[in-house]
Each structure stands twice: as structure tokens, then as C-alpha cells.
Amino acid sequence: MKILKQIEKKIKKLKWYDMSLLKLDVVFFTLFVITVWPAFRNLVLGIEWFWYLAIAIVLAIPILKKLCR
């Protein structure tokens, strides 16, 4: 728990663009892994598109609730 509190304190120091850069980094790292690891590419491309949409919506709900309060 102590480590999580330290991380939370450091996250508060980040600017909005730092979080955006982190998101972009995750996207490009995922594209890299898809490119170099054929088994992962087959797994990712074998899943129907609507599952990704459903997961994105479910993960966005808590953020949207915080924004609307």
C-alpha cells in the first residue's frame, strides 16, 4: 500500500499532456508487440470488433461518472 500512495503522489505532479503521452506510448507499444509477435497478432485479430467496443465502454464508465459529478 505504501508504494501505491507514493505513485498516487507522483501522478498528481503530472500535467495533462504527460498522461496523453503515456496513452500514446501504450498504443504504439501494443502495435509493436502485434508486429513482432505473430501469436499475439493472431489473438488480437481473431477477436471480433464488438468485444473491443464493449470493453472500451465498460472501462470508460467510471471516468465518465467522475467527470459528470
Q: Mean pLDDT of all residues in the chain?
A: 91
| Chain segment 47-61, per-residue pLDDT in tens | 999 999 999 999 999
Domain tally, the chain: 1
**Residue 57 is part of which domain span?**
2-68
- With vertex at residue 53, the alpha carbon angle to CA 48 and CA 55, rounded to the nearest 5 degrees, is 100
pLDDT at 11: 85
Nearest Cα to 32, choosing from 20, 44, 21, 50?
44
Query: What's the confidence (pLDDT) of residue 40?
Result: 92
Residue 46 pLDDT exceeds 80: yes
Cβ atoms 9, 16 nearer than 8 A: no
